[in-house]
Structure 1
Amino acid sequence: MHPVNTSIALFLGLGIVGAVTPVFSATMRVPVEPASFGSGAIVGLPVESDGWLLSQGGEGGEAAGKVEEMSAGEKANAAFVNRLGSQQLLAALRSGGNIIYFRHAQTTKDYADQADPKMSLASCETQRKLSAAGIEQSREIGKAFQTLKIPVGTVHSSQYCRAWQTADLAFGRHQQSAKLNFLPFEDYTDAQMAEMKANLLPFLTAPPRPGTNTVVVGHDDLFEAATGIYPDPQGIAYVLTPDGKGGFTVQASLKPDQWASL
């Protein structure tokens, strides 16, 4: 488990039920839980969460078979509410200007292979592999993008086989970057989480080429480090819009089978 510092910035109108809608800048404001307040309630005080337990590092938490309380990042993922309806989201994607962050598609097993001393980035045989379902997920996502006429510019991926293979199967190309890799640990310190956040933020804040969307295919822990949201399940995508000032707005999330229904 790894701790991360987060702050809650929820602003509610009188008598309005609040939903988590993250907007990030260089000084992050990470919503942790949805809130429902009665008339007159106003919430906006920062809350420090040193020592809170987030999801297990290295994608190792999903197959552990343990019943545990949801982490802050998992709660944020479960509580996330899209800012845009389907038609608005599709229009925004067709216009370009967004970052689409995918967690790689489904794998045969779920464990922290980055902490395995036998794992080599040069050998897919030593890493977690895409399952048959994950391969199909990737292809169907690519077909949906073509059918929906969503323009894709640069496609970034980590150096892990499951990430770049997801990118290739869906979009036919990718540019690998070590900055999108895990750090080689199963559990992370605050400093390591901060390092992963610093590695990922440039990908989430750089405006795409005009008329295109940038795709980033990576992993769970980096996205959680940068946004406070643990991306689940495998294959989920979050759509973010950079503001051109080093920040971004998280607009929507889509599970692998939801692209075709946009």
Structure 2
Amino acid sequence: MLKWGLLLLLALAGPAAANTDEAWQALREGRAMLLMRHTHAPGTGDPPGFVLEQCHTQRNLDELGREQARAWGDRLREQGIHQARVYSSQYCRAQETATLLGLGEVVPEPTLSSFFARRERRAEQTRELRRFVAGLEPGLPVVLVSHQVNLTALTGLFPRAGEALILALPLEDRVRVLARINP
């Protein structure tokens, strides 16, 4: 019985692994982008009165979050991505995640910043993010670092801290998720 269960598990894992390999290939070739939620930062939201330009007023990465971000950089390099166009939310936890990937200059992008405290911006900011992505020129692979609310608004999925999605380009009305990768 155990033997059959193991065979079934292997059979099911095969196509998933193949699909993930195809997603990584699409990312390397510029037919997809990686959209990730910043890595572990304990808590929810930000303290009252936080200031975007002052990291000490925000919720920030802990050592686990820093380890996850460095591990993500290693994972991307293992997949043949040694340099990328890296765009990040303006929040310190996302900026630090993006920097620790070690893939190149991190460019702050307001459309990736959290609208957690201003949920009325959800639809407008998601449209702006779609326009930003549509305007990216071909080139190095694209890595975006954002927040749960932003990823959920775009994809309908609820990613955990440090989880990433490889999304097909161009973004369609219903975003095609090629792979969902845990931290």
TM range (shorter): 0.7 to 0.9
Q: CA RMSD in A?
A: 2.6
TM-score, normalised with respect to structure 1 = 0.57
The one-letter amino acid paired with 1:214 is V
SS of alignment partner, residue 175 of structure 1? strand
SS of alignment partner, residue 166 of structure 1? helix
SS of alignment partner, residue 159 of structure 1? coil
Paired residues for 1:144-155 under 5 Å: 144-150=75-81, 152-155=83-86
Equivalent pair of 2:89/2:108 in contact (CA under 8 Å): yes
Deviation at 1:176, TM superposition (A): 0.3
TM-score, normalised with respect to structure 2 = 0.79
- 2 CA distance for matches of 1:117 and 1:86? 40
Matched, 1:226 2:154: yes
Aligned residues: 168
Deviation at 1:199, TM superposition (A): 2.8
The one-letter amino acid paired with 2:93 is R
Instruction: Find the counterpart in structure 2 of residue 259 from structure 1.
Output: none
Instruction: Find the counterpart in structure 2 of residue 193 from structure 1.
Output: 122
Instruction: Find the counterpart in structure 1 of residue 50 from structure 2.
Output: 119
Deviation at 1:167, TM superposition (A): 0.4
The one-letter amino acid paired with 1:111 is T
- 1 CA distance for matches of 2:135 and 2:180? 19
Structure 1 residues 147 and 159, CA gap change in structure 2 (3 angstroms)? same
Unaligned residue ranges in structure 2 (runs of 5+): 1-14
Cα deviation digits, residues 116-164 of structure 1 (max 9, x gap): 4420111111111111111011111111222321254321101100001
Instruction: Find the counterpart in structure 1 of residue 180 from structure 2.
Output: 253
Structure with the bigger percentage of helix? 2
Structure 1 residues 229 and 245, CA gap change in structure 2 (3 angstroms)? closer
Equivalent pair of 1:97/1:208 in contact (CA under 8 Å): no
The one-letter amino acid paired with 2:33 is I
Cα deviation digits, residues 194-219 of structure 1 (max 9, x gap): 12322322244445524x32110000
Matched, 1:239 2:144: no
- 2 CA distance for matches of 1:245 and 1:226? 10
Paired residues for 1:102-181 under 5 Å: 102-107=36-41, 109-113=42-46, 116-150=47-81, 152-170=83-101, 171-181=103-113
Equivalent pair of 1:99/1:208 in contact (CA under 8 Å): no
Identity of aligned residues (%): 30
SS of alignment partner, residue 253 of structure 1? strand
Which ranges of 4 or more aligned residues in structure 1 deviate by more than 6 Å? Answer: 244-247
- 2 CA distance for matches of 1:247 and 1:174? 28
- 1 CA distance for matches of 2:122 and 2:117? 11
Equivalent pair of 2:45/2:116 in contact (CA under 8 Å): no
- 2 CA distance for matches of 1:238 and 1:169? 18
- 1 CA distance for matches of 2:87 and 2:50? 22
Highest RCO, 1 vs 2 (Cα 8 Å, sep ≥ 6): 2
Unaligned residue ranges in structure 1 (runs of 5+): 1-80, 257-262
Equivalent pair of 1:207/1:242 in contact (CA under 8 Å): no
Choose 1 or 2 for highest CA Rg. Answer: 1
The one-letter amino acid paired with 2:111 is K
- 2 CA distance for matches of 1:146 and 1:82? 21
